[in-house]
A and B are shown apart, each in its own frame.
Chain A
Amino acid sequence: MKKILILILFILTNTFCVAQTKNTKLPSVNVKSINGKTVNTDTFENEDNPIVISFWATWCKPCAKELNAISEVYDDWQEETGVKVIAVSIDDSRNAAKVAPFANGKDWPFEIYIDANSDLKRALNVNAIPHTFLLNANKEIVWQHTSYLDGDEEELYEEILKL
């Protein structure tokens, strides 16, 4: 009980300064590119255009559905909004070696990263995948969505158009 009180106090003491900020910035976390390089999320860049970050895994069917659906309309999206999609796989060593062949086999035109230790997943409070984030030009999270139903990419696109 005492522990909980202390933690609540801690949170309260911070609430004031928390309240001053608006959108969450993308946290700074290391992930791996599919050619093995360590990449910090700070270096995610799209020249002041919006970025979509989508969490997926090779075994997750709705994730593949979502990325397939976006892949089909990606050319149009890019032309109209300049958006860039970054697909972050949370596959562990059971499937990590399959990530590049899987994404290439599907012909996905996205930047792909692997978050093997789930550091980025935890930093962004992702409970389950698919989970998709929309970042504005300042790389602040302006919208996010969990799970995927057929047609959900249209809602995402409406949000991109608002930026």
Chain B
Amino acid sequence: MKKVLYGLLFCSGPLFCQGIQNGHLSGNFQSNSQLYYEDADLGITSENLPSEKFLINSFANLLYTTSNFSAGMRYEANHNVLLGFDKRYNGEGITYRYTQFNKDGLDITLGNFYEQFGSGMILRAFEERNLGYDNAFDGIRLKYSPFNGVYLKSLIGRQRLYFDKAEGIVRGFDGEISLNESFESLSDIKTQVMIGGSFVSKFQKDLDPIYILPENVASWASRFSIYHGKWIMGAEYVYKYNDPSATNNFIYKEGQALLANLGYSQKGFGFSLAAKRIDNMSFNSDRNLGGQEVSINFLPALTKQHTYALATIYPYGTIANGEMGLQADLNYKIKKGTLLGGKYGIGILANFSNAYSIHKAPINEDTAIGESGTLGYTSDFFKVGDDKYFQEYSLEISKKINRKLKLIGTYLNTHYNSNFIVGYGNYGMIKAGIWILETQYKLKPKHSIRTELQHLKTAQHEGNWAMGLVEYTVSPHYFLAIQNLYNYGNKINKTHYPNISAGYTKNTTRFALGYGKQREGIFCVGGVCRNVPKSNGFSLSITSSF
């Protein structure tokens, strides 16, 4: 298979030269490296220092594109991977290569590809390079649009597992119809309606000595969205047939997921509301692998995604075995020229989210909830469980004072149940209040100074934190930042985490050099999280694209 693919790539080269003059080669490159040091304050001794002392993650993509053909590859070299990444990423190789062509409206991809059906709760292959997450398919994908507004996709393939591939084969089909595009009589009406559906099935041999496991696991999903003027409404429901796995402790229960959204927006005002219920919905290419490895689907965490340092200490990650939650988000701009808004107006962002366990009852008197080899439990769809996993509300107010100065004040209140959320271990319900003040000041054209003052107050886990940051930037090339995180409320070890970093950007090339200490913690982007150990050292990051 591989040989054929490379052969195709090779032979096709000269042909394109004759046929297509508009071919174009492009690409990108990124490397992140760190030199690690011992640190008595952090408890890093020569024994738990990585033996290589210097670690590096790097990759480069090359992409060749013409009007209806493209081919690309990614080469990765990790010698060895940075701390916090899975060691199975050590090494080098071509981890992604594909060819894609478009003929008579049929779009064909051979090789690796990323894909998402609907919201991704039934199928989503994606990469989050900075978290070491990549579950790309290797196989074949077809996309076809037989009529206006009708989009069909089908795929078959296996998913990436570090430098290898998962055992299971995934087959999928997705169809979507946009009624207003398909029917001319509807094209001009105010209400836009889209409906869609998917079918996904995986195959994995049953070699289990105890249980008779389903070798083919099917799942289906249906979705709709309606746009009416300033309103948006949508929902997706996913059903998965019994799929005993390491994550659900080998129970034979079906899985379900529901995600619903409602949104309203007009100039200067936006509001959205989302609800979800997830029940036994981990779906992996390999039933024996848990967590985020070779996930076929993606279960989004319905909580606000933070970027301020102290606000990221307690991030929520979806609990695939069962959760239900809500999120409300408000975005409002008080107009300039009003009494409250003043000369420049005021920006307001408010968010509320929560997540609870789902209701679970034993299937009969003799069987414990979630016992292996049984149907696991029964669950009332609309009943909330007893455990609160997470709750957060936040308010952010931004105000431009004058042409030079802008202030952003934020308050967050987080309840984080560490007994259930993967990350820190059993500290019970961690309740934290976080205050943040950011100032942005323009010293002169292209020269700016930015500061952050942050405080996190909690009686649990590691106690209180304080943080300060000063950043000086000169557009369009330079930045210099100094920061310190101080875990002054820690009863065992009050630790400072100072850090200094500087960077240079020219067009698409960026260098960033840092020196300092890194706290231990969970770092999340989207729904994917990575545990990063504490460290002390120099780091260098280079990215470029052409």
B-binding residues in A (CB < 8 A): 3-4, 6-7, 9-11, 13-18, 20-21, 24-25, 27-28, 34-38, 58-61, 92-98, 100-107, 116-119, 122-128, 131, 143-147, 149-152, 154-155
Check: B490 CB closer than 8 A to any chain A CB: no
Indicate if B474 sits at the interface (CB-CB under 8 A): yes
Instruction: Flag if B9 contacts A7 (CB, 8 Å).
Output: yes
Summed over the interface, the residue pairs from A and B with CB atoms below 8 Å come to a total of: 231
CB contact between B114 and one of A96, A101, A117, A151 (< 8 Å): that residue: A117
Residues of B within 8 A of A13 (CB): 10, 13-14, 17
Closest-CB distance, B410 to chain A (whole angstroms): 11
In the complex, A7→B9 CA distance in Å? 8
Are B270's CB and A146's CB within 8 A? no
- A127 engages B505 (CB within 8 Å): no
Determine if A145 and B263 form an interchain contact, defined as CB atoms under 8 angstroms apart. Answer: no
Does B307 lie at the interface of the complex (its beta carbon under 8 Å from any beta carbon of A)?
yes
- Let me know if B106 is at the binding interface, CB within 8 A: no
| Contact (Cβ within 8 A) A146 B545 | yes
Given known A92-B300, A93-B121, contact A149–B448 (CB-CB < 8 A): yes
Is the Cβ of B507 less than 8 Å from the Cβ of A98? no
CB of B333 within 8 A of chain A?
A: yes
Interfacial chain B residues near A154, Cβ < 8 Å = 445-446, 475
Instruction: Pick from B63, B269, B272, B446: contact of A98, CB below 8 A.
Output: B272
The distance in angstroms between the C-alpha atoms of A125 and B509, with both chains bound, is 12
- In B229-250, which residues have CB < 8 Å from any A CB? 232, 234
Do residues B192 and A151 form an inter-chain contact, with CB atoms below 8 A? no
Bound together, the chains give a CA A24 to CA B478 distance in angstroms of 28
Q: Which residues of B contact A58 (CB under 8 A)?
A: 305
Alpha-carbon separation in the docked complex, A27 to B13 (Å): 19
A-facing mask of B53-70, CB < 8 A → 1, else 0?
Answer: 000000001111101001
Known: A21-B21, A35-B227, A93-B119. A123 touches B63 (CB 8 A): yes
27 residue pairs A–B, Cβ–Cβ below 8 Å: A10-B6, A13-B14, A17-B17, A20-B21, A25-B22, A28-B67, A35-B192, A35-B232, A36-B194, A59-B305, A92-B298, A92-B300, A92-B526, A94-B305, A101-B270, A104-B268, A105-B269, A106-B333, A107-B268, A117-B114, A117-B115, A122-B61, A131-B508, A149-B475, A150-B475, A151-B473, A151-B475
Q: How far is the CA of A104 from the CA of B347 in the complex (A)?
A: 12
* Alpha-carbon distance A61/B120, docked complex (angstroms): 25
- For the complex, what is the distance from the CA of A9 to the CA of B507, rounded to whole Å? 30
Please encode chain B, from 244 to 282, with 1 for each CB lying within 8 Å of some chain A CB and 0 for all others. Answer: 000000000000000101011111111110100000000
Cβ-neighbour of B24 out of A4, A10, A18, A61 (below 8 A): A18
Q: Tell me the B1-21 residues at the A interface (CB within 8 Å).
A: 2, 6, 9-10, 13-14, 16-17, 20-21
- Cross-chain contact A150 with B473 (CB below 8 angstroms): yes
Most buried by A among B116, B259, B448: B116
Q: Contacts A6-B10, A93-B121, A100-B232: A105 and B116 contacting too (C-beta < 8 A)?
A: no
> How far, in Å, is B517 (CB) from chain A's closest CB?
23
Structural contact, A11 and B526, CB atoms closer than 8 A: no
Known: A97-B272, A145-B508. A127 touches B545 (CB 8 A): yes
B507 touches A144 (CB 8 A): yes
Contact B298 A101 (CB under 8 A): no
Does B459 sit at the interface, judged by CB under 8 A?
no
Please report the C-alpha to C-alpha distance between residue A21 and residue B24 in the assembled complex, in whole angstroms.
Answer: 7
Does B424 have its Cβ within 8 Å of any Cβ on chain A? no
Q: Are A94 and B301 in contact (CB under 8 A)?
A: yes
Q: Whose C-beta in chain A lies nearest to the C-beta of B74?
A: A122
Residue with the highest number of chain B CB atoms closer than 10 Å, among A27, A59, A127, A145: A127
Q: How far is the CB of B349 from chain A (nearest CB, A)?
A: 8
CB pair A101 B272 closer than 8 Å: yes
With A7-B6, A104-B270 known as contacts, the answer to whether A151 contacts B21 (CB < 8 A) is no
B25-33, B35-43, B158-166, B529-537: which lies at the interface: B25-33
Query: Most chain-A CB neighbours within 10 Å: which of B13, B67, B266, B507?
Result: B13
Chain B interface helix/strand/loop/mixed: strand
Which chain A residues lie closer than 8 Å to B119 at the CB level? 93, 96
Cα–Cα distance between A104 and B266 once the two chains are bound (Å): 6
- Tell me the smallest distance from the CB of A1 to a CB of chain B, in Å: 11
Residues of B within 8 A of A150 (CB): 440, 442, 446, 448, 450, 473, 475
Contact of A38 with B10 at beta-carbon distance under 8 Å, contacts A18-B25, A146-B510 already known: no
In the A-B complex, list the 3 residue pairs whose CB atoms are closest, starting with the nearest: A105-B331, A101-B270, A151-B475
- Determine whether the beta carbon of A100 is less than 8 Å from that of B508: no
- Determine the chain A residues whose CB is within 8 A of the CB of B371 once the complex forms: none
A interface SS class: mixed
Query: Which of B27, B73, B330 makes the CB contact (< 8 A) with A7?
Result: B73
* Shortest CB distance A43–B (Å): 13
Residues of B within 8 A of A116 (CB): 116, 120
Least Cβ–Cβ distance between A67 and chain B, in angstroms: 13
Contact with A24, one of B20, B26, B307 (Cβ below 8 angstroms): B26
Is the CB of B546 closer than 8 A to any CB of chain A?
Answer: yes
Q: Is the CB of A118 within 8 A of B114?
A: yes
- In the complex, which residues of chain A have a beta carbon less than 8 angstroms from the beta carbon of B115? 117
Whether B6 pairs with A155 at a CB distance below 8 angstroms is no
CA distance A156 to B70 in the complex (A): 29
In the assembled complex, the CB of B14 is this many whole angstroms from the nearest CB of chain A, namely 6
- Given A93-B300, A94-B301, A149-B448, residue A125 in contact with residue B178 (CB < 8 A): no
Closest residue to B331 on the A side, CB-wise? A105
- In-complex Cβ contact of B261 among A7, A97, A144 (8 A): A97
Residue of A nearest to B525 (CB): A59
Q: A13-B13, A101-B265 are in contact. List 17 more A-B contacts (CB 8 A).
A: A9-B13, A10-B13, A17-B20, A24-B26, A36-B232, A97-B263, A98-B272, A104-B269, A105-B269, A118-B114, A127-B129, A144-B508, A146-B509, A150-B440, A150-B475, A151-B447, A151-B475
- Is A17 a contact partner of B126 (Cβ separation < 8 A)? no
B300 contacts which chain A residues (CB < 8 A)? 92-94
Docked pose: A104 CA to B269 CA in angstroms: 6
Contact at A104–B114, with CB atoms within 8 Å? Answer: no
A101:B331 contact, CB within 8 angstroms = yes
Contacts of A107 in B (CB 8 A): 267-268, 333
Q: How far is the CB of A60 from chain B (nearest CB, A)?
A: 8
When distances are taken between beta carbons in the complex, the residues of chain B under 8 Å from A60 are 307
CB distance from B151 to the nearest CB of A (A): 6
